[in-house]
Amino acid sequence: MTDFTPLEAMEGMTLVQLEELSDRTPLAGYLDHYRLRVLLKDKTTLHVGNIEVEPYRLWAQVWSPPQPRGTAIIVHGYYDHMGLYRHLLELLLEENLQVVMWDLPGHGLSSGERADIKDFAEYGQCLRQLQQRLCDDGLAKGPWLGVGQSTGASILATDALSHADDGHWCGLVLLAPLVRPWNWARSAWVHSIVGPFVSSVPRRFRPNSNDADFTTFLRERDPLQPLRLPTGWVTAMRRWMPQLMELPPSLLPTLILQGDEDLTVDGPWNLAVLEGKFPRATIHRHSEARHHLVNEIEPIRRELFEQIRQFINPLLVTAAVDARSQPICSHSRASQR
């Protein structure tokens, strides 16, 4: 498979000029492999590189249309990386949003033990520090919309519930959000028995989308896919689950999308929990969708993406005139005083 590890040596964020992008460079190979280069059009710009967020180095991209209405930050799911989010990136750019994408610690081209984390709180710390760094460098500004898939949705939900009144987000889009995994009772029992004795187990590639080409790509043609499940990550998730349950509700505008054929997370149970945590949430269920909603077959994806369009457009209009919609840098600095 293609080796993208040379990209890990990039320092800081670099503006990519399409006309200067040589086909022989690792960056061009990366953009082409994940079919991202075609989105560099219509005066859209791309900054790409690595951002140091102690103790990690995070691989990040900032896609900017002319005169964006705000910034969307995509937080991907477990085992994922930002290269898999082309469809969602295209949608958000069409809605004239600047888009920040980044690989979680231990995923994609970011540093860290593969697919592992000591504490879920580290994800949230990386999220806030990354946003602050981008603001300081003039690469992103509010209002901010959070869009998360699965574990990424849980990271955003935890952040919003933990900082309910700081005006950090204008809204959230939670796609197949993780609160507890599917068939959790059995999985928790197995983890309790096996966890103390093994550090990881082989990953099983189950079809998580109705798009057979996508699931084949994950299994056979994506060099950035982790091949093992660290038991330490499951331990961290088990510590995080009751912490989320204890957080107070938030009135933040939220859209939650869930597939009824999802065998990765416990959709019905998770929706009941999140409906209580986000009382203003709009919930849309799709009877045929599986877990990886941003890479579902086109008819399902079109329906789900229309829900996102209908949610974000009035939200951004309101945020544009809301006195609280100040650049995220101001909120972050105020919270640090």
In sequence order, what are the beta bridge partners of 61?
48, 101
Mean of pLDDT values over 285-291: 98
pLDDT band at 303 (very low <50, low <70, confident <90, very high): very high
Helix (H) or strand (E) holding 149: strand 144-149
Q: CB of 8 within 8 A of CB of 51?
A: no
* Terminal-residue alpha carbon distance, the chain: 48
Considering the entire predicted model, what is its pTM?
0.94
Return the pLDDT at 332: 45
Mean of pLDDT values over 37-47: 92
Q: Are strands 254-259 and 171-175 parallel, antiparallel or unpaired?
A: parallel
Residue type at 220 in one-letter notation? E
Q: Give, in order, the Cα–Cα distances in Å from 16 to each of 21, 22, 45, 134, 286.
A: 7, 11, 7, 16, 38
Tell me the per-residue pLDDT of 95-134, one tens digit each, with 9 for 90 and over: 999 999 999 999 999 999 999 999 999 999 999 999 999 9
The residue among 292 and 54 whose pLDDT is bigger is: 292
DSSP secondary structure string, 221-270?
T-TT---EEEHHHHHHHHHHHHHHHHSPP----EEEEEETT-SSB-HHHH
pLDDT band at 335 (very low <50, low <70, confident <90, very high): very low
* Token pair 């994922």 in the structure block, residue: 80
Tell me the per-residue pLDDT of 204-257, one tens digit each, with 9 for 90 and over: 999 999 999 999 999 999 999 999 999 999 999 999 999 999 999 999 999 999
Among residues of the chain, what percentage have pLDDT more than 70? Answer: 93
Distance, in Å, from the CA atom of 226 to the CA atom of 190, rounded to the nearest integer, reads 21
Distance, in Å, from the CA atom of 295 to the CA atom of 276, rounded to the nearest integer, reads 28
Return the pLDDT at 197: 67
Class of the 5-336 domain? Answer: alpha beta
**CA 91, chain centre distance (Å):** 15
Print the SS3 string covering 30-71.
HHHHCCCHHHCCCCCEEEEEEEEECCEEEEEEEEECCCCCCE
Task: For residue 308, give both structure tokens.
Answer: 């996102």
* Token pair 């519930």 in the structure block, residue: 161
In sequence order, what are the beta bridge partners of 51?
58
Give the residue extent of every domain in the chain: 5-336
